């Protein structure tokens, strides 16, 4: 009986903490952040962002020029307080308008890094869309 009471109290406490923290954000209520930049051959570009809630993240390339059929590398990483990428969470090869990265995200500082896979012979401009709570 005592074990059952302790379990119920722990469950209630966890529920209250979840409510007080705002809980998990429904992906349909995510904010959309768009980042644009240029990747040179053998180069990369990074973009810091922050989320205060737990939920789901998705990242995809939404624009490429001058070529629109070249794949680029995408890294989702934790960032330090200065916005520098410090710890890779997930990486992928991204093609235009196809999901590249998705998963669960917790509150914190993050960055998305876009890089050449060794394919580019000239600079490529891009836009990457990050959906997060």
* Each residue's pLDDT expressed in tens, for the chain with a length of 133 residues: 444 444 444 444 444 444 445 567 676 788 999 999 999 999 999 999 999 999 999 999 999 999 999 999 999 999 999 999 999 999 999 999 999 999 999 999 999 999 999 999 999 999 999 999 9
Residue 3: both structure tokens together: 């074990």
Q: What is the pTM of this model?
A: 0.79
Residues 127, 60: contact at Cβ < 8 Å? Answer: no
* Residue 109 to residue 49: CA distance in whole angstroms: 6
CATH number of 25-132: 2.60.120.510
* Residue 62 to residue 55: CA distance in whole angstroms: 22
* Residue 3 to residue 6: CA distance in whole angstroms: 5
């Amino acid at each position: 009986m005592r074990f059952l009471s302790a379990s119920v109290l722990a469950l209630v406490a966890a529920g209250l903490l979840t409510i007080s923290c705002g809980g998990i954000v429904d992906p349909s209520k995510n904010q959309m952040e768009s980042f644009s930049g240029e990747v040179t051959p053998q180069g990369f570009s990074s973009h810091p962002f922050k989320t205060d809630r737990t939920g789901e993240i998705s990242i995809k390339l939404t624009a490429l020029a001058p070529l629109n059929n070249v794949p680029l590398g995408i890294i989702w990483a934790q960032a330090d307080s200065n916005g520098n990428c410090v710890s890779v969470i997930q990486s992928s090869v991204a093609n235009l308008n196809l999901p590249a990265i998705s998963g669960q995200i917790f509150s914190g500082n993050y960055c998305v890094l876009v890089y050449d896979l060794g394919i580019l012979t000239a600079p490529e401009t891009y836009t990457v869309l990050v959906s997060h709570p």
